[in-house]
Structure 1
Amino acid sequence: MPDPREDQIFQSWFSPAYPVGAFSYSHGLEQVISEGSVVDSAGLMDWIADILRHGAGRTDGILLYAAAMPGADAQALSDLAAALAPSRERHLETMAQGEAFARTTSDVWGTDATPRVYPVAVGIAVAALGLSPARAVRLYLHAFSANLVSAAVRYMPLGQTDGQKCLAALLPVIEEVAAEAAKSTPDEIGNATMAADIAAMHHETLPTRIFRT
């Protein structure tokens, strides 16, 4: 039976207030804004939609869902995810957030505190508390998208209202990617966001930065 506190638990985990430091990561978005590849809300929405459908969004969704399944080899999934990180900053982003999530969630809910990549750490906690993997993936992807929109609002000429319009327009994409993750396996993970990966590499040498990635 699902935990009656499921809504409250997910609201806590995916809130900006949950201490994983998500606000300090832009997933390479700071680089593409700096170089002029993303200049308005339409470009931002397209960029995030591509990340969701073809990059880290899809990959993280599959990993989270797989880690939440009975008998999942969490360490093998975490090792796979770490090996797939295309740059130092991407590795930092998923490992640092995963470690912070595992530590905090262990202290609060008594789950496994082993440091692992972020989506796998979430999946382990979902399984431990008997929560819905499908809902977890959907809300995880929404939080990921919202964090990128928030980064753009802070870094480019984009108002709060336009940022929320962008996030609202991404809701069907989030639902699409979450549904696909529930039907996919780690063997089906693939990445087709090379420009975003290269941007993450270039960000390491960006002269002035406000985000860690």
Structure 2
Amino acid sequence: MSDRQLLHLLQLSNPMLPVGAYSYSEGLEYLVEQKIIGDREQLYSWLEQELRYGSIRTETAVMVRAYQSKRQEAREKEELIYWNEWFSAVRETKELRQQSWQMGQSLLKLLVSLEPDLAAIAKDIGNPCNYPIAFGIGAANWQIDIEATAIGYLQSWTTNLIGAGVKLIPLGQTTAQHILQDISAPLLMAKTKILTLTDEELGSCGWGLTIASMAHETQYTRLFRS
């Protein structure tokens, strides 16, 4: 991977990317309120289980398919539309779907402003565009290595939830960095598995995430968006 491609990957996976990721906790706020997650070890365990079995695996696998679709010009439009609609259909809750749509539209708009040639693809996909679709399009357009792209996507997701944990539990910044370092091995294992998943294997069993997401909007007070 060239230096320029590395810089593009860092740009895409940066927590400061203006897509609003920092405003979501993906149910973590409810889990903290219910005292299911209340310390470093419990947050780490939740993240590890999500990387092993949760919907982030399916989400990243869809991002990989969007990346591959963008590289296959013959069926680019059909494939991108298919996977965008498929992912909208399998989101566990309305809240998670709306999060993906909001972040996806924000990222796609940003990508078009940076790379005007992507305007035609954005028009083909239409509104709404899911976040993993937009991320895959951006990475493929900048010709970033697919394995590195998957790592960047998972790292961005992990960093965002650890950041939410820092505010909610709360945790110190040093503790957060320890979690981020410790989670690297499960993250890399998840990346390897995700890249080998067939279409028939796409799916997850994350009842905890689904329940937490649905319960979040009815909490008495909230720091994060539903």
- 2:65 is the counterpart of 1:66: yes
Aligned partner of 2:111: which letter?
Answer: T
Q: Secondary structure at the match of 1:5?
A: helix
Aligned partners of 1:17, 1:135: CA distance in 2, in Å? Answer: 19
The corresponding residue for 2:92 is 86
- Structure 1 consecutive aligned stretches of length 4 or more whose deviation exceeds 6 Å: none
Q: Under a length normalisation based on structure 2, what TM-score does the superposition of the two structures give?
A: 0.89
Counting helix residues as a fraction of each chain, which structure ranks higher? 2
- 2:102 is the counterpart of 1:96: yes
Aligned residue runs from structure 1 range 85-164, under 5 A: 85-110=91-116, 111=118, 112-113=121-122, 114=125, 115-164=128-177
The corresponding residue for 1:20 is 19
Aligned partners of 1:48, 1:92: CA distance in 2, in Å? Answer: 22
Aligned partners of 1:12, 1:6: CA distance in 2, in Å? Answer: 10
Runs (5+) with no aligned partner, structure 2 = none
- Checking the alignment, whether the CA contact within 8 Å between 2:151 and 2:187 is kept in structure 1 is yes
- 2:59 is the counterpart of 1:53: no
- Checking the alignment, whether the CA contact within 8 Å between 1:28 and 1:196 is kept in structure 2 is yes
**CA-CA distance at 1:4 after TM superposition:** 4.5
Aligned partners of 2:63, 2:190: CA distance in 1, in Å? Answer: 12
**CA-CA distance at 1:36 after TM superposition:** 0.6
How many residues align? The count is: 212
Aligned residue runs from structure 1 range 169-208, under 5 A: 169-208=182-221
Q: Under a length normalisation based on structure 1, what TM-score does the superposition of the two structures give?
A: 0.94
**CA-CA distance at 1:127 after TM superposition:** 2.0
Aligned partners of 1:42, 1:127: CA distance in 2, in Å? Answer: 36
- Checking the alignment, whether the CA contact within 8 Å between 1:101 and 1:122 is kept in structure 2 is yes
CA distances 1:142-161 after superposition (whole Å, capped 9, x unpaired): 01000000001011121111
**CA-CA distance at 1:68 after TM superposition:** 1.0
- Checking the alignment, whether the CA contact within 8 Å between 1:65 and 1:134 is kept in structure 2 is no
Percent sequence identity over matched residues?
27
CA distances 1:46-94 after superposition (whole Å, capped 9, x unpaired): 1111122211221112111111112450111111111111111101111
